[in-house]
Amino acid sequence: MNYSFDFQSVTRNLGPLFDGLAVTLQLTVAANAIGLTLGFVLALLLMSPWRLMRLPVTLFVEFFRCTPALVQIIWFFYCVPMLFNVFLGSITMGILALGFNLAAFNAEAYRASIQAVPREQLDAGIALGLNPVQRILYIVLPTAFRASIPVLLTNGIVIFQQSALVAIVAVQDLMYQAKSLATQTYRPIETFSVAALIYFAVSFPVTQLVDYLERRRLAVAG
């Protein structure tokens, strides 16, 4: 290997990279806000006893889960303005595309953990004389929410990584800045490595936290 590294070309230009990181974080936080709330509503609708209610929601969720995020984002950026004659600014569009994607995945996470609440818990609720609404409020939701936290966190960090895709539609996030810096400086190795490290530095603590939570949950269960 006879490549001579020059990390200074990157360190001199950390400014744009951190601007990009700020955009990336903004996208992530806003998408998570949508994902956590809309996802919960979708989960409740998914379990609705009315077929007519369930069907469109199921379609929505499955569509986002079964197509590439890249396709969704490009579709969103090109088609929504044409179909509905609105364009909300590229960052807002990015937030919405990522947020809907996350909502679909979170809806599944919520649904799975709500359905995993053990039958005995509900029986105990009946035995204690709680009415159906009370049983959902005091027994199902707290248990389910706690059980879904690791998956929600994982989904949240996945969307942080997926947010790099908006660079392809020219949102100036970390990925976009890295790409243009690499072209300007002719230093792709150094630039992409530093950008990857920045992504990693944000994701890693969260994945470690998830692992810790999982281990603790297993230890309590076992």
Query: In sequence order, what DSSP letters do the residues of 14-71 get, joined into one string?
Result: HHHHHHHHHHHHHHHHHHHHHHHHHHHHHHHHHT-S-HHHHHHHHHHHHHHHSS-HHH
Find the shortest distance in angstroms from Cβ 53 to another protein: 20
Find the shortest distance in angstroms from Cβ 62 to another protein: 6
Using CB under 8 A, which of the segments 49-57, 89-97, 133-141, 189-197 binds another protein? 189-197
By CB under 8 A, the count of residues binding another protein is: 49
User: Which of 189, 212, 215, 216 is close enough to bind another protein by CB under 8 A?
Assistant: 189
User: Which of 31, 103, 144, 164 is close enough to bind another protein by CB under 8 A?
Assistant: 164
Regarding 119 and contact with another protein (CB under 8 A), the answer is yes
Regarding 83 and contact with another protein (CB under 8 A), the answer is yes
Find out whether 38 and 103 touch, Cβ atoms under 8 Å.
Answer: yes
Q: Is 162 helix (H, G, I), strand (E, B) or coil?
A: helix
Residues from 30 through 59 that contact another protein (CB under 8 A): none
Regarding 79 and contact with another protein (CB under 8 A), the answer is yes
Query: Rounded to whole angstroms, what are the CA distances from 139 to 21, 171, 172?
Result: 40, 43, 44
* Number of CB atoms found within 10 A of residue 146's CB: 12
* Structure-block tokens of residue 193: 């490595």
Which residues sit at the interface with another protein, rule CB under 8 A?
A: 1-3, 62-63, 65-72, 74-75, 78-79, 82-83, 85, 119-120, 123-124, 126-127, 129, 161-165, 167-168, 175, 178-179, 182, 188-189, 192-193, 195-196, 199-200, 203-204, 207
